[in-house]
A and B are shown apart, each in its own frame.
Chain A
Amino acid sequence: MRRFLFTYTLAVLPWLACAAPATADTAGFSSHVQPLSSGEDVYRHVCQSCHMPDARGAVGAGAQFPALAGNPKLQSGAYPVYVILNGFGGMPWFAGVLDDTQIANVVNYVRTHFGNHYTDAVTPADVAAQHPAVIPQEE
C-alpha cells in the first residue's frame, strides 16, 4: 500500500497513507494531486476552498471563514504556522499533510499578498520548530 502510494505523490503523502477515515461513508483514499511547490500553488489548490480566491473569507450561519486579507493576526508569522499545523475549530490540521516548505511558502505568500506587506519571511526550519509533539492521524 505504502509503496504504491509513494509512486503517485510528491505533495501530500502522509494524508494518502492514512487514507480515509475507516468508519466513515467516504470515498476511499484521496487521489493524487499535482505537486504544490510555490506558496501561490498551495493557496490556490488548498486554502482558497474556504478562505476564497481573494482571501476575504466568507460568512455563513452565524459563523465565518476568516479573511486573511488585512488580518492583523498575521503580524507574527508563527501564528498562521501554528494554525496550519494544528488546525483551529472547524479548520483541519495540515501537519503531516503539507510539508514544512509548503507551509513556509504559503504563509509567506499570504503575508505578502491580499494587502498584506510583511517583510519577515518564515523558513521551513521555523515551521519544523513548531511541529506538534504528535502528528495527528485521522481515524
Chain B
Amino acid sequence: MTNAHPRTVPTRRQLLTRIGILAGSGALYQAMTAMGHAQGTDFTAPPVLSGVKPGTRVLVLGAGLAGMLSAYELRKAGYHVQVLEFQNRSGGRNISLRGGDTVTELGGATQKVGFAPGNYINPGPWRIPYHHQGLLHYCREFGVALEPFIELNHNTWLHSSEAFGGRPVRYRELSADFNGFTAELLAKAIDQHRLDDAVSAEEREYLRTAMQEWGRLDAGLSYGKGALSSGMRGYDRAPGGGPDGAPTFSTPFARKDVMRSGLWTWLAFHQRMDMQTTMFQPVGGMDMIGKGFNRQVHDLITLNCKVTAIHQDDRGVRVTYNDMGHGGVVREAQADYCVCTIPLPVLSQLDVQVGAALRAAIMAVPYVSSVKMGLEFRRRFWEEDEQIYGGISFTDQQINQISYPSNGFFSRGPGVLLGGYMFGPAAYDFAGMTPAERLEHALAQGEVLHPKQYRKEFSNGVSFAWSRVPWSLGCCSMWHEQARKTHYKALCAMDNRVVLAGEHASYVGCWQEGAILSALAAITQLHKRAQGVG
C-alpha cells in the first residue's frame, strides 16, 4: 500500500492519546469504554423498569440464579412475583457440598458427604472471571464476600502418560523450557536472516530482543542450563544462605521431549480470557452466591413444585404443577407473564404451549455431561510436601485435573481438593459408574501425580455426575454453530407471555454470568411487552 495521501483520520491509538493529553485519564477511560474496550461482558447496569401497571403478575419457574435475579428485579420494579422451584432448596446449579449433605442421583445411588467441618466442594460453578461484571455486581449488592481463586500456579504438575516417562513435570519447568526453546528457534532464525522476507530490519531487532528476554536466552541466543533458565524453571538446589548457599542449576528437558509432550496446551489454557487472572470465588463456598440471592427473594419462592405444563392465551399464563410437599397434589398457578428458567432437557419434555420456533429451539440444545470429584485428605500434603498452594494440575488421564483449594492455606487438618473434572467421553464413562467405582478410578489416576500421599492420606470422597441430576438431566447447554444460527434468537425471544432465561439463553453458556445476563435480557423484554411496546 502506498502512502501518497496524508492520513486524515486519526488511528484509534492516536485519538486516545490526544484525548488523554487534553482531558486527563478519566476522560480517556470513558472514551475507551464508549469505544467498546476496557469492559467485560456486556453488563453495564441493571435495567430500569419503570411505570409498571400495579397488580401485574409474573410467575418465575426455577429458583436458580436466573430465576432469583428475575424475581428480584421484577419485584423491585413493582411487579407481583411468585417463584416455583422443583428442589427443596434454591440456588439451582449454584451449589456446594459439605459434611452431612446427601447426594441422590438418577439410578438411585445415594452418597453421604463425609467432609470435616469447614470443608466443601463446588460441584457446579467454582470460579468467576474478573470480567463477569453482572455476577460481580450482584455479589456486591447482596453482600457476598469474594476471595481470589487461584487459577494459575506455576508449581502444579503437568502430566502426560506418554511423555517424560509418564512422570509429571512442574508447570514452571515445562513453561520455561517451551518458551525458551521456542524463543531460541525464532531468535536464531532472525539472526540467520531466515525471516528477512517477512520481517523488516527494525522489527527484527525488536523481535530478537523480545525473544532473548522472554525465553531467557544467553548472549549467543541459546536456551540452556544456567542462571537464566533456572531463574525461571527452578533449581536442583535452591539458592540458600551462608557459606554453602550457592545454588545448583537445573537441566532443561530435551527440546524434542517438550514439543512432543503436548503439555504446552495447558500453557495456553490459562491464557484465554475466561481463565485469566484475577479470578474469584465466594468465601465459604460457591453457594454463598445462591444464598445471597435467596436472602433477597426467599419470601417469593415455593419449593418442591414439579412443573408439568405451561399454558398461555390472550388473558394470561397458567402453570400446572405437582406440590411435592403435599403428596404431589396437582395445583395451578396463574399470572400475566412467565419467566421460565427450567433447564432445557427437562423443559423439552413438558407440556409447553409455545410457538413452533420456540418449541424447536427448546428441542435443539442438548446439555453436556460433566462429572466432578471432591476428595478429602487427612492433611494438605500438596502444600506441606510439594509447596502447591491452589491452582490446577493437569493430566491426560480421565480425571483431567486436580485442583487444590484456594482457601485455608497452611491450615492443619483435613483438606478437600477437586480430584477430577471431566467433560465429554470421560464424563460419560464416570457418570455410568457407581460412586464407589468413580472414587477408585479417581484415586488410581490421582495417585500418578501424587504417588506418595494420595492413597495414604485419603479420607473420603463424593462424586457429582451432572447427567444424573434429576432436575437438570445434564450440566449446561451445548451449542453448535448451526443451532445458534437457526434457534438462538427464537430461544431468547418472548413467546406471547412466556420468556426463557438461564445460561442456555446467552452467549456466555455454562457460566453463571450467562444466567445473569439472560435474566436481565428476559425481564427487559417482558417489561416492554407489559408496557405494550415490545
Give every chain B residue within 8 A of A52 (Cβ-Cβ): 106-107
Q: B12 in the interface, Cβ–Cβ < 8 Å?
A: no
With contact pairs A58-B106, A60-B471, A63-B345 given, residues A46 and B428 touching in the complex (Cβ less than 8 Å):
yes
Q: Which residues of A contact B (CB under 8 A)?
A: 1, 4-5, 7-8, 11-12, 15-16, 20-33, 44-50, 52-53, 58-65, 87-93, 97, 134, 136-139
Whether B398 contacts A31 by the Cβ 8 Å rule is: yes
In the complex, the answer to whether B425 meets A26 with C-beta atoms within 8 Å is: no
- Closest A-B pairs by Cβ, 10 of them: A90-B345, A24-B510, A30-B424, A49-B431, A60-B470, A4-B262, A63-B349, A58-B106, A136-B480, A49-B432
Count of chain A to chain B residue pairs whose CB atoms are closer than 8 Å in the complex: 190
B507 beta carbon closer than 8 Å to chain A: yes
Q: Which residue of B lies closest to A56 (CB)?
A: B107
- In the assembled complex, how far is the CB of residue A82 from the closest CB belonging to chain B, in whole angstroms? 14
Partner of A45, one of B399, B428, B465: B428
Contacts of A139 in B (CB 8 A): 479-481, 484, 509
Cα of A16 to Cα of B424 in the assembled complex, Å: 9
Q: Tell me, yes or no, whether B520 is within 8 Å of chain A by CB.
A: no
Q: Which residues of B contact A20 (CB under 8 A)?
A: 423-424
- Known: A8-B396, A28-B269, A60-B471. Is A92-B106 also a contact (CB below 8 A)? no
Q: Are A63's CB and B350's CB within 8 A?
A: yes
Q: Is the CB of A27 within 8 A of B431?
A: no
Residues in chain B near residue A33, CB distance under 8 A: 398, 425-426, 429
Tell me the smallest distance from the CB of B306 to a CB of chain A, in Å. Answer: 5
> Would B306 and A49 count as touching, CB distance under 8 A?
no
Most buried by B among A45, A48, A61, A139: A61
With A24-B511, A31-B396, A31-B399: A136-B483 Cβ-Cβ less than 8 Å: yes
CB distance from B478 to the nearest CB of A (A): 6
Cβ < 8 Å to A, chain B residues 246-271: 260, 262, 265-266, 269
Segment from B110-118, B140-148, B365-373, B448-456 that makes contact with A: B365-373
Verify if B157 is at the interface (C-beta below 8 Å from A).
Answer: no
Residue contact B349 to A62, C-beta cutoff 8 Å:
yes
Structural contact, B507 and A23, CB atoms closer than 8 A: yes
Closest to B398 in A: A31
Contact call B509/A21, Cβ cutoff below 8 A:
yes
CA distance A16 to B262 in the complex (A): 13
When A7-B162, A48-B432 are in contact, do A27 and B422 touch as well, CB less than 8 Å? yes
Is B401 on the interface with A (CB-CB < 8 A)?
A: yes
Q: Are B306 and A61 in contact (CB under 8 A)?
A: yes
* Interface pair A15/B349, CB less than 8 Å apart: no
Q: Is B348 an interface residue (CB 8 A)?
A: yes
* Across-interface contacts of A4 in B (CB, < 8 A): 260, 262, 265
